[in-house]
Structure formats: C-alpha cells, structure tokens
Structure 1
Amino acid sequence: MNIGLLGFGTVGTGVYEIINKRKDFFRSLIGKDLNINKVLVKDTTKDRNINISKDKLIDNPYFILDDPNIDIVIEAIGGTAEAYAYIKHALTTGKHVITANKAVVAKHMKELMDLANKNKKAFLYEASVGGGVPIIKPLKQQVTLNDIEEIKSILNGTSNFILSKMIREDLEFTDALHIAQELGYAEADPTDDIEGYDVRRKLAILSTIAFKREVKEEYIHCRGIRTIKSVDTKVIKELGYTVKLLAKASFKSNKYYLSVEPSLLPDDSFYAKVENANNLISIIGNDIGELKFYGQGAGKFPTANAVVSDVLDILYNNYQNYGIDEGTYKLCNNTDLVKDRYYVRLSPKHTLSDYVLKVVKEEKIADKIIKTGDHIIFTTGNIELKKINSFINNVKESIKDEFYAAIQ
C-alpha cells in the first residue's frame, strides 16, 4: 500500500515518522507493507533534520497525483486553492485522500464527498477538527443512531491560551497575544485564531456531519476575542466566572442555531478547566445523551496521529463517506432559538457616563450593574441576542461614536 505525501512541514514529518516507526507493527497487523514512497517538497536539495532518502523527495505534485502505484494521497501542504485542486485531482484519478486541511474541508466538503462516493474512494479528514482528539469518526457513527441536538466546543488552542493568560495573570489582550506568539501558540498573523474564523470552519464541518446538511461558514454568527480587555477579565473573575471562545450549534423546531463567540462559564464547570492548546468537544444525541471528547487540539504528533488513524481505516476498508441531505431546511444564526445571559461593557467618554448609565437602567435588561473607572459593565438575565444588539445600536445612535461596547 503506497502513500504519496503532499507537504513535509510539521504535520507531514509527523506522519512520516509515525509510519516509519511502526512499520513492522503495521505489517504484522494488516499483512502488507505501508510505504510513503513519494513526498512533495518545495526544495528537494534542502538539508532536513529527518532520516529520509533523497529519492523520495519530489517537487512536482503530479508525480504523486498521476502515479498509478500511489494508493493514498495525504494532503499536508495547507492553504486552500492548491490543496483543493490536488485533493480533487487525486479523487478524480481514483485515489483515497486524507487531509488535515479544515479550510478546504469546510468550504468544499459536499463536493469532495460526492466525488469520493462517485469513485468509491475514501475522503477522510479526522485531523481537520480537534487535532489529536478523535471526533469525526465517533460523530459519524453517532449520527446513524441519534438525532444530534447540540454541539458545544472549545476548538482553538491559541485563543484558549490567550484567555487563560489574561484570566490568571490579569494581562491585557496584546500582552497575552505576544506571549502566545513567542511560545509558538500563535502565528505572526493571528487573525484566523483571535477573530474566531478557525473555530467557525471547524464548527461548519462538525455541524455538516451532525445535522446532515451542508453548513457553510457564512451561516455561522462569529465574534472573536480581540475586544476583551483586562478590565473585563478582572470583573469576570470577581463574578465567579471565566471566559472561553465557544463554538455552539443546536437544532430546535426544524431550525439551526450556530455561533462562535466568547462565553462566560462558571469556574467549576468542565469547560472552565480546559487550558492552553487542549480542546473539548461535547455532543448531545437524543438517545446517547451527552458525550465529551477531550485532548490536545494541535501539535505535530497529535495531529499526525489523527492522519495515520485515517490511513488505518482505509487499510481495513473501514470508512464510509456519508451523504449530505439537499432537502429544504432553515438556518437561524442569532436571534429566535436561544436565550442566554450576556456580559456587556460600555466605555463612554466621561462626560456621557451618567447618561449611558441612565439608559442601561431604563432599558431594564441588566440584572447586575458595575461601574469601574470609565466603564459601565452589566450582566443580563436570559434574553435574546437580538435584544442586546438592538440596545447597543440604540445607544450608539443616541451618542454616536463616543463609546466602545463589548458583548460576551
């Protein structure tokens, strides 16, 4: 069984090392050799800190994609346009495909699944959500037995690390982000992580499987963590809470509610104890109840391990590309289905502080009001998001751009 590996970065080298290290075990397990016999790299002459024959390195992806001796293609180059083109080409030419590329899976999931089904090949992507946390395969199994009612998850190690540092050490967001970048938790451009886009892609993938409907990224209400300040984390701690970037999807009354946003959680909750790069994914089925999946959501070997688990499913012929229902359905992104409690900070100019405080009291949506410095902070009872948004817009309109509002 021959594998072509597209990309030899963090994930690609991890996959290569795991397969080489356990080659004898795989042979005894499945009765055949498992070979990575071609690896796509940008520079075949580069010195690499890994034991690999130079003969395996190629710089033309079609030496893998069009090779009739290659059975499985593992895409590990990242990006979107090229990765999508290579995955589609490989499936079209009758190869099994494995990827960790959440951006491609979230955007093209239905098309690639349909293509894999047409050619009777596997399209597997366990590592695209949760890194080393096994969630895709268990979720596929559960949707055959259960109607999935809810998904609730912490799915991004970068944002989780930043929020943990802010809560524990009273740091400002920019300081915590800088530490995350120095330690390798955050990229030089952290936009996808801190604005919630990375989590939104992962939630789109999970929701598509769970609800058997094509869920696009743009369906999902999304807010990141950039607006959170140390004044917020201090007050949140005093209230007995912590804050996490949560991905939530639920199904009620034949409608779907999907969101990615910072959420307050009691200090003693299971989610509050998820630290650094760890992920927690909870699913609720009508018969099974709640299942929780916890583990490392990123890293070389956890992610590579998920890729290799997909390889084993192909070797055992233990895969199924589930179809996506094209029937009519209605998505509800933000208002009607879910009521929640909200944390709101208003930071008006000093001269307008009394006026804003008066408006907050008159609206009668606050169950607790805190005045600290130039900030007016309040929490609400269970109300609809559209009511909070309407309040913020009304205040903005009345005093124009004289304050900054943050909602958690």
Structure 2
Amino acid sequence: MNIGLLGFGTVGTGVYEIIYKRKRIFRTLVGDELSISKILIKDINKDRSIKECKNKLTDNPYFILDDPDIDIVIEAIGGIKEAYEYIKYALIKGKHVITANKAVVARHMKELIDLANKNKRAFLYEASVAGGVPIVKPLKQQVTLNDIKEINSILNGTSNFILSKMIKENLDFSQALDIAQKLGYAEADPTDDIDGYDVRRKLAILSTIAFKREIKEEDIYCRGIRTIKAVDIKAIKELGYTVKLLAKALFNENNYYLSVEPNILSKDSFYAKVEDANNLVSIIGNDIGELKFYGAGAGKLPTANAVVSDVLDIIYNNYGSCGINQEEDKLCNNTDLVKDIYYIRISPKYGLNEKVLNLIKEEKIVDKIIKTGENIIFTSKDIDYVKISRFISNIKNFINDEFYAVIR
C-alpha cells in the first residue's frame, strides 16, 4: 500500500513519523508494507531532520498524482486553491484521498464526496475537525442510527487558550493573544481563529454530515472573541460565570439554526472545564441521547494520528460513503429557533455618544443594568438572532470593536 504525501510541514512530518515508527505493527495488522513512497515539498534543497526520506522528495505534485503505484494521497499542504485542485485530480485518477484541510472540505465537501463515490474511492477528512479528537467517523455512524438534533462544541484551541488565559490570569485580550502567538498557538495573522471563521468551517462540516444536507459557511451566524476585554472577564467572573467560544447547531423538523459566538456559561458546565487548546464536541441524537468527544484539538501528532486512522480505514475498506442531500425536502435556516439573553458592555468614555444611547432606547432590549460609570454593562431581554444582529451592526456604525462587547 503506497502513499503519496503532499506537504511536509507540521502535519506531513507527523504522519511520516507515526507510519515509520509503527511500520512493524502495520505489517502485522495488514500483512503488507505501508509505505510513504513520495513526498511533495516546496524546496528540494532544504536540509531536513528526517534524513531517510531524502530520496522520496519531489517538488512536482504530478510525480505523485500521476503515479499508478500510489494508492492513497494525503493532502497536507494547506491553503485552498492548489489543495482543492490536487484532491480533485487525485480522485479522478482513481486514488483514495485523505486531508486535514478544513477550508477545502467546508467549501467543496459535496462535490468531492460525490466524486469519490463516483470513482468508488475514499475521501476522508477526520483531522479537519477537532484535530486529534475522533468525531467525523463516529458522527457518520450515529447519523445512520439517529436523527441528530443538536451539536454543541468548542472547536478552536487558539480562542479557547486565549479565553483561558484571560480568565485565569486577568489578562486583557491583546496580552493573551501575544502569549498565544509566542507559544505557537496563534498565527502571526490570527484572524481565522479569533473571529470564529475556523470554527465556522468545522461546524459546516459537522452539520453537513449530521443533517445530510449541504451546509455552507455563509449559512452560519459567526462572531469571534476579538471584542472581549479584561473588563468583561472581570464582570462575568463577579457574576459567577465564565465565557467560551461555542459552535452550536440545532435541527427541528427541517428547520435549523447554526451559530458561532462567545457564550457566558456556568462554572459548573462541562464546557467551562475545557481548558487551553483542548476541544469538545457534543452530539445529541433521538435514540442515543448525548455523546461527548474530548481531547487535543490541534498539534502535530494528534492531528497526524487522525490522518493515519483514515489510512487504516482505507486499508480495511471501512469507510463507506457519506450521503448528502439524500432527502428531497429542503432545510430552512430558521433564526426563530433560538432566543437568548445577551451581556452587553459599552465603554462610555469613547463610545457612549447620543447616537448610541438613542439606539439602545430604540431597540428596547435592556433588561437589567449591571454597572454604570467607566463602562455601562447590562443584560438584554430574551431576544432572537435578528434583533441582536441588527443591534451589533448598528453599534459598529458608531463605535470601534474595542469599545463594546456582546456575549450570548
């Protein structure tokens, strides 16, 4: 069984290490060699720590994609355009494909699954959601047996690490982000993580599987943690609560509601206990009830482990197909499914002008004033998605992100 590896960065080298150190075990299990025969890299002359792979390196992807002796292609280059083209080409050439690329899976999931099914090949992506936490395969299995009613999850280690630091050490957002970047939890450009886009992609993948219909990223209401400041953390802690970035999916009689946004939680909540870069996914089915999946949401070896688990499923012919849009009836994105209370903070020194005050009065959303003075903090009445979205959109017309916070 020959593998072509596209990319030799963090995930790629992790996959190589796991397969190499467990070579004898794989031979015993499958009765044959499991070999990474070719590896795509950008710089052929770069000195690499894994010396034994030197004669396997190429900077031409088609040396792998057109090789008839390669059975499985693992895409680990990242990005969207090239990765998508290579995955599609490999499936057309009759190869099994594995990827950890959530951006490609979220955007092209149905097309690539249909193409894999047409060519009787596997398209697997366990590592694209929750890193080392096995959730994609168990969810596929449960969808066969259950109607999935709800998904609740913490799916971004960077945001969770930042919020954990802010809560534990009373840090401001910028301080916690700086620590996350120095430790390698956050990229130099952390936008995808702190604005919720990374989580939105992962929720789109899980929801597409769970509801058997194609869910697009743009179908998901999304807000990140950028506007949460030390003053908010202090107020939330004084109220006896904590805060997490949660991804939620609800399904009820062909209506669904999907959201990624910061949520205030009881300290006793299971989600409140998820610290640092760990992930948690909870699914609720009509027969199975609630199942929780917890573990390392990122990292070289946890993510690579998920990729190699997909390799084993291909070897054992244990992957099947994942049907999307099997039902004739269409889903409706119904924002009326959810109403909730929101914590809202406005910083008057900079942002509380007459227009903002008039906006708060016009919307008639105030339920309880918690603090006044340097910051005005209040809780809203029970309001729906449309009303809170309109309020946030209008607030942005008058004040910058650093002078307000809205937390579910």
Contact 2:346–2:352 (8 Å) recurs in 1: no
Letter in 2 for 1:16: Y
**Unmatched 5+ residue regions in structure 2?**
none
State the Cα RMSD in Å. Answer: 2.2
1:53-92 to 2 correspondences below 5 Å: 53-92=53-92
- Give yes or no for the alignment of 1:116 onto 2:122: no
3-state SS of 1:52 partner: helix
The alpha carbon displacement at 1:213 in A equals 0.5
3-state SS of 2:376 partner: strand
3-state SS of 2:52 partner: coil
TM-score (norm 2): 0.94
Q: Distance in 2 between matches of 1:402 and 1:175?
A: 19
Q: Distance in 1 between matches of 2:259 and 2:368?
A: 25
Letter in 2 for 1:253: E
Q: Distance in 1 between matches of 2:134 and 2:308?
A: 12
* Residues 268-298 of structure 1 deviation map (CA, whole Å, 9 limit, x = unaligned): 1110011111000000001100000000000
- Give yes or no for the alignment of 1:406 onto 2:405: yes
Q: Percent identity?
A: 74
- Residue 97 of structure 1 corresponds to 97
1:118-137 to 2 correspondences below 5 Å: 118-137=118-137
Q: 1:287 to 1:47 in 2, by over 3 A?
A: same
Q: Distance in 2 between matches of 1:402 and 1:67?
A: 54
- Residue 268 of structure 1 corresponds to 268
Count how many residue pairs are aligned between Structure 1 and Structure 2.
405
1:299-310 to 2 correspondences below 5 Å: 299-310=299-310
Contact 1:349–1:402 (8 Å) recurs in 2: no
- Give yes or no for the alignment of 1:222 onto 2:222: yes
Contact 2:351–2:399 (8 Å) recurs in 1: no
Q: 1:60 to 1:363 in 2, by over 3 A?
A: closer
Q: Distance in 2 between matches of 1:260 and 1:48?
A: 39
1:11-22 to 2 correspondences below 5 Å: 11-22=11-22
Q: Distance in 1 between matches of 2:213 and 2:394?
A: 36
- Residue 324 of structure 2 corresponds to 324
The alpha carbon displacement at 1:389 in A equals 4.0
The alpha carbon displacement at 1:339 in A equals 1.3
Contact 2:42–2:59 (8 Å) recurs in 1: yes
Q: 1:231 to 1:71 in 2, by over 3 A?
A: same
Q: Distance in 1 between matches of 2:318 and 2:201?
A: 26
3-state SS of 2:51 partner: coil
1:181-220 to 2 correspondences below 5 Å: 181-220=181-220
- Residue 10 of structure 2 corresponds to 10
3-state SS of 1:144 partner: helix
Q: 1:370 to 1:28 in 2, by over 3 A?
A: same
- Give yes or no for the alignment of 1:379 onto 2:382: no
**Unmatched 5+ residue regions in structure 1?**
none
Letter in 1 for 2:218: E
- Give yes or no for the alignment of 1:172 onto 2:172: yes
Q: Distance in 2 between matches of 1:391 and 1:60?
A: 51
Contact 2:224–2:262 (8 Å) recurs in 1: yes
